[in-house]
Each structure stands twice: as C-alpha cells, then as structure tokens.
Amino acid sequence: MKINFTRKALTLKGFVVIALLALSSCRSYREIPYFQDVNRNTVSQEGITNYSPLTIQPDDIIGINVLSLNAEASAAFNYNPQNNPNTGYVVNQRGEIKLPMVGVMKVSGLTTDELRTQLQSSLLTYLREPTVNVRVLNFKVSVIGDVLRPDVYSVPNGERITIPEALALAGDANITAIREVLLIRERNGKREYVPLDLKSKALFNSPYYYLKNNDMIYVQPHKSKLATVENRTITTVLTGLSIVALVVSAIIR
C-alpha cells in the first residue's frame, strides 16, 4: 500500500502537468509570425510616404557642435560642461534655447537640418566659414511587456527609429507575446494610445511606424504565458509533494 501511494502521487503529478501543458499549447501558430500578408513568393516594392523628419520639441536636449576658421570663438558655442559629450542645450517650454552671442533662438518645430541651416547663417556674423552639426541627445524609447529585455533605450543617432527596430533593441517579442502592440505617445500636452498590428504589412505605412522621442511600446503577453507560469508553479508544488510522499513512505516503512 505504501508503494502504491507513492506511485499514485507521481502518476497524479504527471497527469496534471501533461494536461496543463496541453492546454497552454492551444495557441495557434497563425498568431505568431510578423507581416503575414507580405508576398513571400516574389520581390515586391512600395513607396515610402509616411516618413517625416524628427522635429525639435520642448524638453529636448540639443547637441550643437561648431567648427570654423576661428577655433577659439567656435568653442563658445559647443555647450559641453566638464567635457561631457551628452550635455547640450535644453529646449524650454517656449521652445527656445539661448546661444552665446546669438541669444534666444526659437527651435521648437524645426528639424535638426533646419536648425543647422539657420545657425550657419546666423554665425556668419561672428565666425569665418562656420560648419554646424546638430542632433537630439536625449532621444529615447521605452519597450515594456513581453519582450526579452524590457528597458528604456537611447537612440544614438537621435533622428530615426522604427517600431521593429525598437523591438529588436529589446531582444524582440517573446513567443508568448500577442503580435499587437500598444504605442503610447505624449505630444503637445496630449497622450495617445495607438494599437498596432505586427501581423500585417500595413504597419510599414502607418504614420506611427517611425517613433518619436519618449515613445513607449507595450507588448502584451498572451494568456498562454500565465498558463506556463502556473504550470511551473504546479510542477514545483507537485514535485515537493512527491518528495514528501517518498520521505513519509520511507519513514513508515
């Protein structure tokens, strides 16, 4: 009877685990692949019509680097306290920055190329043959939810990143993730919640395909992920019970 009791416990454990694994594997493969409506039998092309350059916004940190034949004078514009390359001009809530000699300059709504052109023109008054480089230093996106590495990611070039690229930074969505993500964007005092379907190539033409500074992507886990976690918990508990049953059986014996 003692041996039968132990065997029954082990058999019950195996049955429960197999049943739960079967339930958790009911998710269809059709829910997994990206861009399912892309023709994979031939090369296809389409024009890119939804890209718009990044525009500078309040709270952006602008890195400005100026070179000219007047090296010492140029250095005054390269705002770089304590030689920190990640420190720049913070755009205030009025969309302005303050530059040496030039003074207050409205930059909100400009692209970095437009600001570069305006600065080069303004600096001709003070410098000989100025060359200006401009970039956004604090461009970042957040990827949270069911991905390999949820985190806040800095974008080194400070200009352009897409939804698939952001997911790649986070190690991609896990196999247990739903292929429909939620983009959360704050702009002009408003917060937008944008559902996007990763299973369709329509994503490439979405106006939200190219991310903006401080965008957040939430990747929702499929309910099968909960079943997987529950399976592990139940397996652990049943393993513990089996060990207890074996110990009790040995003691009684």
Whether 186 and 209 share a structural domain? yes
pLDDT for residue 242: 65
pLDDT over 90 at 167, yes or no: yes
Q: In percent, how much of the chain has pLDDT > 70? A: 75
Whether 152 and 198 share a structural domain? yes
Whether 106 and 119 share a structural domain? yes
Higher pLDDT, 148 or 241: 148
Region of poorest pLDDT, from 1-15, 51-65, 111-125: 1-15
Last-in-domain residue among 84, 111, 136: 136
pLDDT for residue 6: 52
pLDDT over 60 at 223, yes or no: yes
Domain containing 11 equals 2-27+225-252
Whether 88 and 74 share a structural domain? yes
SS3 of the chain: the string is CHHHHHHHHHHHHHHHHHHHHHHHCCCCHHHCCCCCCCCCCCCCCCCCCCCCCCECCCCCEEEEEEECCCHHHHHCCCCCHHHCCCCCEECCCCCEEEECCCEEEECCCCEHHHHHHHHHHHHCCCCCCCEEEEEECCCEEEEEECECCCEEEECCCCCCCEHHHHHHHCCCECCCEEEEEEEEEEECCEEEEEEEECCCHHHHHCCCCECCCCCEEEEEECHHHHHHHHHHHHHHHHHHHHHHHHHHHHHHC
The predicted-structure confidence for 190-199, as pLDDT tens digits, reads as follows 999 999 999 9
